Structures are given as structure tokens and as C-alpha cells.
Amino acid sequence: MSPRAARLRHRVPLVLVLTVLLVFGGRLVYVQAVQGADLAAAAREDRTRTSTIRAPRGDIVDADGEILATSVERFNVGVNQRLVRQYEAKDDDGEVTGTGPAAAAEALAPVLGKDKAELGAAMVGDSTFVYLAKGLTPEQWRKVDALGIPGIEPEETTARVYPNGTTAGNVIGFVGRDGEGLAGLELSYQDQLTGTDGSLTVEIGATGQVIPTGRHEEVPAEAGQTVHTTLDRDLQHVAQRSIDQAVADHGAEWGAVVVEEIGTGRILALADSATVDPGKYQEADPEDRGSRAVSTPYEPGSTGKLPTFAAALEEGTADPGTVFTVPDTLTMPNGQTFHDNSPHATHVLTTTGALQMSSNTATVQIGDTVSDRTRYDLMRRFGFGQRTGIELPGESTGVLREPDGWDPRTRYTTMFGQGMSVTLLQNTSMVATLGNGGVRVDPRIVEGTTDGTGTFTETETTPGEQVLSPETAGTMLAMMESVVADGGTGTRGAVPGYRVAAKTGTAEIPDAAGGLSNRLGSYVGVAPAEDPRVAVGVVVYRGAGTSYGGTVAAPTFSEVMGAALRDLGVPPSSEPAPHLPLAPGEG
């Protein structure tokens, strides 16, 4: 081989080596100088984990700030299956007695109240997070944390708690597993109660441990707003207990109570029988999970006579002393025949006496003195046939048809509370209007909300509407006092020490066979009659027997009204009730 060929033979490998070095060197320069920042960012991203910091749901409180619903701190516990392998269990002398998942499960099982075999199986694998238990209290988590087991990690969360059990459960409502409101104020104030979640971003190592010197960014969660209700928790409890007892005593299907503060529309209590426990709502029948006082309309019966009498007084076609001949059966000019509840001899009564007796035949005579449109318009102004706007889901409008749609019989039955329907909330609002000098104020159950900065936002209210003259409203109350007096249908609704103006109601309900063997009893009124502060409405649905309102509903009215007056510090009545003649010639 020539010297030239030999030199070429030695240079070729050198050139090849230099070429390879140049390629790798160029690649290295490209990676470090050009792609370096992007690769580093990608590596950090791969190591970065972001977790959500759950915002606590806002509280729901009563008028005194007592908690009705709140969120409490809870912990879910998970395991990093890679890190738990490092665990060593030691005895008092420091000797290792066990290692890894099996030993960790042995230590954790009694604290979590779980089977150690199931725990051990959940800890075996290659995942960086597997749930072991959920909903631990802070105290329980501290016990778990004190074990010092590597890879056992907490996830902070919240749970909804209702400390008063069933009290106001029909108003508060409840939340589902995802924390979303499903009923009551939990549903209607979902947006306000829901806070804004925060986040925690950290860098982790290959085995899932947090890198202390790595990225650590925290965005705090913002709690939801506090909802301030108008409810008085203690009065709510009294109302629920009383209506539950009435339903039990009379074998009724359900019952409800509404307590409204006159002049403000504030609902102090809104109680339903068999009220749901929000913390155990799955155990309640679906029909018991809301408020029938708001959502279930019924024929008001004789409490529906109040607008008829008020319309005649307002129009001047009758006054408290106007005299009517009152038989037990009466046929009107259009051929429709009506009966009083029980047979009786023909009476001669004043308008006041007719209301005390709750006579149907007298009522149709009184109602016939004003036009159908006049009566209808007054009932609408009282709030019948329309939602009150109460801050609860599922409110019913009730049923009140235009007078053009009334048939020859309905035009009369609407005079005494049949052929129409109302909710208990609407009916209670009506008597509250009478007690407020004829000014109707929309009922409300939320005072306002407070945000995380402590700023209180009051619930928007509309000005009251004068639907009846103060004179007519005052006269109606004086006449309604006769209902509670001796000889009236509502004597069992009297409240010792206070003057009460009220009206009883009884309505027939169709039974399974299509007959009218079932009844509904109701009672609405205000007190003290000389200066009304509180309106109370009670309904007991489908009780056994006759179920007259003065029998099944009046005792609950008396108990709840008495509790409300005492709670508000209203002094007993000091003036005697006015004397209105019940029949001609009475002094």
C-alpha cells in the first residue's frame, strides 16, 4: 500500500468521528440554546400538579343569626402507593415489626374503622393517589396523620350540616352529593350560597412527593354568602310540633302553619307536618321534602268568605248591622240552591251575625250585592291566583278564574270559598292585609345576604299596596272578633289575654270513590285585634270525621299565635272588644 493510501486509510475514521462529534455537538447546542427553555418548561409542567381548594358553602341562619345550615371542614384520605412502600412499623424498642402496605393497613384500620385486608389491597399498586376514606373530621385526620405513614395524604373538603334536625327543613331544603342545592333555600339561593373555589399548584418528584423548593402557588377559596332568613327558630319548632300533633290527633294526611309579621311581610315560621331532615332527606317521602304551605293549593272554604264580606263593606252595599233573612236552604234567582252546613230554623241576622255563624245562604245574599268583577278584582288584590314571590321554589299560584269563565253556580260558590283554590301562604297574607289597615305587603322569608367582606345586602322589597280602605279593614277585624267570641265557630282559637280576629274554614275534598266524604279544616286570623302584630294561618288536610276548621285547626292557631305574641313581647290586650249586634234589636 502506498504512503498516500495509508494516510487516507487513517484519515477516514477520523473524519467520521469528527463528523459524528459535530452532529452531536450541534444537536446539543440546538437543544440547550434553542429548545432549552421549552424543554425545561415541559419538564416543570410534567412535575406540576394542581388541586382544587373547595370553597365552603355559605351558611343559612335564622333571624337571630342562629345556624340553620352550615359547612364544616372534612378530610378525604388517600394513599400514594409508591411512597407507602417505605413505611416501617416499629415496636417500643425501635425494632422493625413490619413494612409496606400490609403494616400500614394494620396501623390505619382501627383509626378508619375499616377492614385491614381491604385497606392493604387498596395500598398495593403504582398509583400516586387512591382514596382510602372520605368525610373524616379534623380530629380523625389528626389521628391518621399522627401515625406518620409515608404516602398517606389528606384532601381537604367540606360537608353540609343541619344542626337543628327537622326544624325548618321544609324551608332550608338540602343539597345532593355534589353539593348542589336540590330544594328549599339551598336551591333558590344556589348562586349566592356557592363560593368560588381556589387552587393549589405544586411540583412533585418521581415518587409523588412534593418538592419543597419547587413551584408553590395558592389561590384562596372564597366562601359563599350567608343567607339571613326571617324565621324565628324557636317559634318554627313550636309550629312544627303543634301541626304534627294536630295531624296525628285527627288522622290527617298533612297540615301546615304560616306565621307572618304584619306590616313587614316577614315570615316568622312556615311549618309543615312530617318535615324533612335535610341531613337525611333520602329517608323522607318525596312529597314531604318541600313546603305544602307554599306549593299545595286547596279550596279555602269559609275563610274565602272574607273577601266577599269585605267587598260589600267597601262598596257600601252592606254594613255590620245590615239585616238578612237566613234560611238553611236558599235558591237564588238563577235557580242555584245552596245550603248551610247544618239544618236550622230561619234566622234574622246582621252581617256580623252571618259572619259569626259562617252562613252560606247569608253569604250568597251579601255577595250578590256587588258585581262579580268587583269581587274578583279584590281577591286578586289580596293576592289570590298569583304567586306571592316568596323566596322558595315550587310556589303555586292557586286557581282563580276570570269571572267571564264562571258558570251560574261558580259565581256563587266563589263567594264562600269554593270553585277556587289558594295556598296557605296566600290565605295568611290576606288576613295580614286586613290587619295592616288594608295594605298588602308581599310576604318574604329572606332578610338578605352577607358576603365574604361582611357586606350585608338587604332583600329588595316592593312598597305595600292599599287594596282596601283602612275603615273597611278595621270593620272587618271587629266583625271577625265575633267568630272567636261565645257562639262563634272559632272559639277554640282564642288566645288567653289577647283579642283575636279570625275566621274558620271547612271545605269538602273528593274521596277515592268520587264522593265528598273527606274534608279540610283551616283557621286564619290576627292578634291582638286592636293593634295587629301577627297573622297566623293553619290548615289540616283530610282529617278523620267532620274535620271542621274550628275543631282541627283552631287549637294549633291558639298555641302558635300565643307563642308568637310572647316571643315578640306583645303586651296583653287592655281594651274590650267592640260590641257589634248579631241580630236586629241587640243592644
Catalytic residues: 302
**In whole angstroms, what is the distance from residue 200 CA to residue 197 CA?**
10
Residue 445, all three cell numbers: 322569608
Sole residue written with cell 290565605: 427
Three-state SS letters, 264-295: CCEEEEEEECCCCCHHHHHHCCHHHCCCHHHH
C-beta of residue 169 within 8 angstroms of C-beta of residue 20: no
Q: Count of CB atoms within 10 A of residue 145's CB?
A: 14
Given CA atoms 488, 491, 497, 499 in this order, what sign does their dihedral have?
Answer: negative
C-alpha to C-alpha distance for 138 and 75, rounded to whole angstroms: 7
Q: Are 320 and 472 in contact (CB under 8 A)?
A: no
CA pair distance 330, 365, nearest whole angstrom:
9
Tell me how far CA of residue 456 lies from CA of 93, 226, 227, 448, 462, in angstroms: 60, 9, 10, 7, 19
Strand-pairing partners, residue 258, are 270, 537
Alpha carbon distance 18, 16 (integer Å): 5
Sequence-separated (6 or more) residues with CB below 8 Å from residue 482:
352, 353, 355, 356, 488, 580, 582
Cβ neighbour number for residue 397 with a 10 Å cutoff? 16
- What residues does 543 pair with on adjacent strands? 519
